[in-house]
Amino acid sequence: MKKPTLVNHPPDVAPPPGNQPVIAPIYQSVKFEFESIDDTLRMLRGETPGYFYMRASNPTTRQLEQTLAQLQGRDDCLATASGVNAIAQTLLSLTKSGDHILCFIETYGPTRNIIRRLLARFGVEYTMVSIEDLAGVENVLASRPTRLVIFESPTNPATKVADIERLTELAHRHGALAVMDNTFAGFHQHGEYDVDVFMHSLTKYASGTGDVMGGAVIARQELIDGMRPDFAVLGALLDPHAAFLIQRGLKTYFVRYSAQTANAQKIAEFLAGHPAVARCHYPGLATHPQAALARKQMKEPGTVVSFDLRDGSEAARRFSESLELFALTASLGSTESLVMPPQLVGTRDFTPEQAKASGVTASTVRLSIGLEDVDDLIADISQALG
């Protein structure tokens, strides 16, 4: 073998049988080969297990998919390049021209965009009501055939709690799928409810470190099998290196979520009692309008705390810019604390009535609480409020 050949066919150094790495390796390979065409064809027909081309599947990504499916309590998972990609591909895959979707004013902004702009171009219609308006949900579902109901809980940023039991029951009674973006609550919550498809941004709690993007769609086998061919041709399967980083992050997922939630609870209580704060939104507060529902549905109320300042949007700007330990940026769920001022919250597409129903005001600030010492975080919030 001459050297240009050698560098393209390097020595195989797989550990011998019985000698396994403790951490699974990153299969950073686009292509996987069999010795024969017949073996390749058997695998491609689904008769034998295996891999062929990374756009369809990869062992490292597959390990993450199987872990997430088990965490959320469903059969299978598709891991994607980002959270919004998981949402866009799911909606594209589950709908066709003429279908109708029920979504909510409180739905995450980019999801509203996918429904109102992208899907509308393909003839998919939608109706939008408030997540608190269960009578409205029932009216819409009774008045026209609906392919799916898509919702979140707690909502972003007002932390409203959706009644998952009622929503899924209403959706199913009217022949619609219940599709839930469960990013805020995480993989260990809501699995016992009759949700057909869970979607997550893995960019948030899964890795926890804020240095990698990913998304996941988790559902029963028949739904995943129906979506998988569409996902493969749309071409946004999660890269194995990102899958490895997210799998590594999951090792500390449970302790991070609980510790960050404990910090968030203390910060919410501090904010709720502060004279500069008109209202604090956090499902773990006894004053939350759906506190009982939150206690029933959630093991842990999460790490996002929002609040309205008495003095309006300029005060919210000064507050956000005065914080020292909170990065002024998007995202949530990572170990460092973040602040999202009202000027950066995307509600510009709302009518005045929708803006009112959203629960988001010109002085609503969203905090994502991290793993720092909670006394330091409260001292920082206190000085910024001052």
Task: Single out the residue of 58, 82, 265, 361 in contact with ligand PLP (rule: CB under 6 A).
Answer: 82
- Minimum CB distance to ligand PLP smaller for 141 or for 210: 210
Nearer to ligand PLP, 210 or 240 (CB): 210
C-beta closer to ligand PLP: residue 176 or 236: 236
Whichever of 150 and 280 has its CB closer to ligand PLP, that residue is 150
Scanning residues 189 to 248, which ones bind ligand PLP (CB under 6 A)? Answer: 201, 203, 213, 215
CA dist 51 → 14, 307, 358 (Å): 18, 49, 46
Q: Which stretch in 9-17, 51-59, 76-84, 165-173 sits in contact with ligand PLP by CB under 6 A? A: 76-84
Binding region for ligand PLP (CB under 6 A) out of 181-189, 247-255, 267-275, 320-328: 181-189
- Nearer Cβ to ligand PLP (203/320): 203
**What tokens appear for 361 in the block?**
């005001």
* Residues 6 or more apart in contact with residue 46 via CB below 8 angstroms: none
As a whole number of angstroms, the distance between CA 138 and CA 189 comes to 25
Beta pairing partners, 79: 216
Grouping H, G, I as helix, E, B as strand and the rest as coil, residue 316 is: helix
User: Which phi and psi angles does 228 have, rounded to 5°?
Assistant: -55, -45
For the window 317-356, what string marks contact with ligand PLP as x by the rule CB under 6 A? --------------x-------------------------
Q: Which residue sits closest to ligand PLP, CB atoms considered?
A: 83
Question: Binder to ligand PLP among 83, 240, 302, 359 (CB under 6 A)?
Answer: 83
Interface stretch with ligand PLP, choices 66-74, 161-169, 177-185, 338-346 (CB under 6 A): 177-185
User: Shortest distance, CB of residue 34 to ligand PLP, whole angstroms?
Assistant: 34
Nearer to ligand PLP, 131 or 141 (CB): 131
CA–CA dist 148, 137 (Å, integer): 12
* Neighbouring C-beta atoms of residue 31, cutoff 10 Å: 8
> Which one, 215 or 342, has the nearer CB to ligand PLP?
215
The interface region with ligand PLP, picked from 58-66, 82-90, 345-353, 375-383 by CB under 6 A, is 82-90
Residue 101: in which H helix or E strand, if any? strand 100-104
Residue number with CB closer to ligand PLP (250 or 272) = 250
Look up residue 59 and give its two tokens: 């062992």
Write out the DSSP string of 133-202: -HHHHHHHHHHS--SEEEEESS-TTT-----HHHHHHHHHHTT-EEEEE-TTT-TTSSTTS--SEEEEET
CA dist 138 and 172 (Å) reads 11
Asked if 303 and 264 count as a contact pair (C-beta separation under 8 A), the reply is: yes
Query: In angstroms, rounded to a whole number, what is the distance separating the alpha carbons of residues 158 and 121?
Result: 30
Number of chain residues interacting with ligand PLP (CB under 6 A): 14
Asked whether position 183 contacts ligand PLP by CB under 6 A, the answer is: yes
CB of 109 to ligand PLP, least distance (A): 9
Which of 311, 290, 312 lies closest to 301 in space, CA to CA?
A: 290
Nearest-approach distance from CB 236 to ligand PLP, in angstroms: 11
Q: Choose between 84 and 105: whose C-beta lies nearer to ligand PLP.
A: 84
Coil, strand, or helix at residue 90? helix
Restricted to residues 104-163, the positions that interact with ligand PLP (CB under 6 A) are 108, 152, 156
C-beta contacts of 222-226 below 8 A and 24+ residues apart = 223/196, 223/197, 224/75, 224/76, 224/77, 224/78, 225/76, 226/93
Which residues, 243 to 302, sit near ligand PLP by CB under 6 A? none
| 267 touches 371 (CB < 8 A) | no
303 binds ligand PLP (CB under 6 A): no
Segment contacting ligand PLP by CB under 6 A, of 39-47, 53-61, 81-89, 138-146: 81-89
Contacting residues toward ligand PLP, per CB under 6 A = 82-84, 108, 152, 156, 181, 183-184, 201, 203, 213, 215, 331
